[in-house]
Structure 1
């Protein structure tokens, strides 16, 4: 009798993914009992704190930025205490340079830290390795990248990975107070998985090697073994080539390490497989894009169901086309997204307050596309609409007769995620009934706070008359 692992892999072979030489990713075996869903922002924060307090070997963090309010200070303090209690603990933090160095004005006129950089400086003296990723694309936009906020339009390091010893949380949430209180996201905790944690640890270390290192004086410098400055125009080509090579070598090394014989797997021990997907188009790494495209275009059995969530709806045209052009053969699909009030930019300052209207316009255009289908009810649009909450959740849930697949991580499946930012996803495939129910319950809980959008003329708010013009021109920035 075939092992569960072999059946899982065979069921994916019709996607022409895992056996495709151009899609070479490491595959990890995980027992379903080690995987759990964290449901709320408060639980996410408490889990981070608890895991940090218990860590003795490593804390490895990748995020867009770390906030500077009291919750974030307490979390960083827990990193400091963990390092103090265990001097040999490896403490590594990787953030985005442009976002994490942006100063945040203090309303109370205090002298406290006003950026991720300043809040992390005390960790440097403790021996922490703190790196800030800056894309080589900034060298092409010299005037723009020097301006706070505007420089973040070019490209961001957007991976959200939180490793504590041999435990990892994969999420789309940043380390900021709103993500710990009333901004709903997804958070998957995988415990006791040393090889998987080693992979993501080394991924963060590898990206850190071609990032800017924060030193004890608060200045940035290149690592000793890296010679290509992303701020210099004539370094950008060699930066891209060598960074691409470093990431591919990492994937190849772990692919070789995780190669296994299907016939030697004990079904009682392994019932779930996971594999990472990276999207770093500026470095010519597009695994997540390839996988998602194949997922959307595959012809699934009739009883299959597909659910998608995104905090910012701006699906690239390729994804929209694959979801709609063969709708009669596609599974029933629900797409959950933030309403205008649940959008992270709602009531923002200056021009940012118009950003939710841009996403509303994209939803309107997609609804018009759906209404032209022979069966428009095949795709359901739902708005996350919870008073005083914002929605930042993202991912895919695919329920088939054979297995359950979920994709969790940082991507929003939009133009920024696919073409600009650095993203990391984890695909989890299981045949375990308990874990299947857990993942399905996760999506049901999110949908509970949503409403259906059927008619763009009656169910969507009106938008300012210039928004369509702006949205079409600057679509690649959202």
Structure 2
């Protein structure tokens, strides 16, 4: 689909990813061919600097050089670098682990007015045997413009990638720019140190969101609404820059669900708690999944503190974790997630005891693990349904893993889709909102086909792994 989108591009291609895999030669050649066919076409890439410049003969920076050399005025490559890694640590942390201090994590693949929002990177395994989510939007000019403008805003505090042999303008070079082999990494703002962009980024992102909200309010029709009045709105989570829209969304959502449920089942004055209430019989159903399940602690508290909402969680089994079988310390990562799951399920059990005493029925949380032979798991997001037997009315999708890394360290872009109550089309035909809700329900069902009973409590976690988990903290 991405290749077909590129082949149809007329004005702009804008991709955002953590990195581009060294084996994606067809992607590069397709971009090259389309740029040659369309002299007015521009390509914009927003990637992570540390991941894209890992040592090697075919890292992302190197495989992009033919594009940069062939179309120097129409190919724009921006490389974000987290300012958290600085000083002595920046010099001694090995390249494989420097992502632990923050990455550019948003996954957006746009061509003209068509956009795919995903959690997947541009690498072979994502296109073959790694389960992930992709939501495609066509003919949505405002959504496409928002995503494009967002990436261009990020580029104002990102490095620029250029061929070293084409970098003749020495005035662009400054103490923060450097040449490495065939490519140059250029810092565009000599007045700001790359480690000192926190305030600049905070201001840029907050003003960006506010300007888009204001412009949308001024329009008669909201830019992210389709003809069925399905609402789609973006959420930026960049904890290192004090932008925490995802957290605010979770707080608002659970607060709303709790208030709605309490109004629906408020007991008579003087009644004594006991038995199974209607809360446990017909609770809203939230499906939540993450390939790296270390659920952010405030989100855990919201889930465990809201028994009015049933929550089904799917996490990757150790074998479905992308680090399973890795050499060295990274090979312990799946075991580390098992340890975090064990801690979470102990908290679930403690909360269940409280629920039982209050007469709220059994635990509101169910944890399953996804496993499929020779596959890995990377899907993330949530779906909310009014009940277990109804179709979803809300979904969160995008790059966030819903963990501490996503909340505090990485820079994420996700979207919330809210679907209105369905009354049926006026002409008696098919209701597009019902169709969309059905598609979201099939997403859940497709994931749960390979979701099995969680067996983490049976797995042994070595003491050194526990020490490592405590040591790395929210970097896992």
The correspondence for 2:245, drawn from 264, 282, 287, is 287
Name the CA distance, whole Å, in 2 between partners of 1:465 and 1:183: 30
Q: Does 1:343 align with 2:302?
A: no
Name the CA distance, whole Å, in 2 between partners of 1:445 and 1:268: 26
Partner of 1:321: 301
- For the Cα contact (< 8 Å) 2:289–2:314, is it kept in 1? yes
Name the CA distance, whole Å, in 1 between partners of 2:217 and 2:157: 28
Question: Aligned runs of 1:327-476 on 2, under 5 Å?
Answer: 327=307, 329=308, 331-372=309-350, 373=352, 374=355, 375-400=361-386, 404-431=393-420, 432-453=433-454, 456-458=456-458, 461-476=459-474
**Structure 1 residues 164 and 141 mapped into 2: Cα distance closer, same or farther (>3 Å)?**
farther
- For the Cα contact (< 8 Å) 2:18–2:106, is it kept in 1? yes
> How much does 1:242 deviate?
1.6
- For the Cα contact (< 8 Å) 1:368–1:456, is it kept in 2? no
Q: Tell me the SS of whatever aligns to 1:117.
A: helix
Where does the alignment leave 5 or more consecutive residues of structure 2 unmatched? Answer: 165-182, 262-281, 356-360, 421-432
Superposition misfits of 4+ residues, deviation over 6 angstroms: 261-265
Question: CA offsets per residue over residues 368-412 of structure 1, 9 Å max, x none?
Answer: 111221355421101001010000000010113797110101111
**Structure 1 residues 404 and 48 mapped into 2: Cα distance closer, same or farther (>3 Å)?**
same
Partner of 1:203: 150
The correspondence for 1:117, drawn from 61, 64, 80, is 61
Question: Aligned runs of 1:53-452 on 2, under 5 Å?
Answer: 53-69=7-23, 72-104=24-56, 113-125=57-69, 126=71, 127-144=74-91, 147-217=94-164, 218-223=183-188, 227-231=191-195, 236=196, 239-259=197-217, 269-297=227-255, 298-299=257-258, 300-301=260-261, 302-327=282-307, 329=308, 331-372=309-350, 373=352, 374=355, 375-400=361-386, 404-431=393-420, 432-452=433-453
Per the normalisation by structure 2, the TM-score is: 0.82
- For the Cα contact (< 8 Å) 2:187–2:194, is it kept in 1? no
Name the CA distance, whole Å, in 2 between partners of 1:264 and 1:121: 40
Q: Tell me the SS of whatever aligns to 1:345.
A: coil
Q: Tell me the SS of whatever aligns to 1:347.
A: coil
**Structure 1 residues 87 and 226 mapped into 2: Cα distance closer, same or farther (>3 Å)?**
farther
Per the normalisation by structure 1, the TM-score is: 0.81
> How much does 1:475 deviate?
2.2
> How much does 1:285 deviate?
0.8
Larger Rg: 2
> How much does 1:146 deviate?
6.0
Name the CA distance, whole Å, in 2 between partners of 1:148 and 1:79: 28
Name the CA distance, whole Å, in 2 between partners of 1:263 and 1:76: 38
> How much does 1:201 deviate?
0.3
Where does the alignment leave 5 or more consecutive residues of structure 1 unmatched? Answer: 1-46, 105-112
Partner of 1:20: none
Which protein, 1 or 2, shows the higher relative CO under an 8 Å CA cutoff with sep ≥ 6?
1
> How much does 1:251 deviate?
1.4
Q: Tell me the SS of whatever aligns to 2:86.
A: helix
Q: Alignment length, in residue pairs?
A: 409
Name the CA distance, whole Å, in 2 between partners of 1:170 and 1:264: 19
- For the Cα contact (< 8 Å) 1:98–1:148, is it kept in 2? yes
- For the Cα contact (< 8 Å) 2:22–2:58, is it kept in 1? yes
- For the Cα contact (< 8 Å) 2:338–2:456, is it kept in 1? no
CA RMSD of aligned residues (A): 2.2
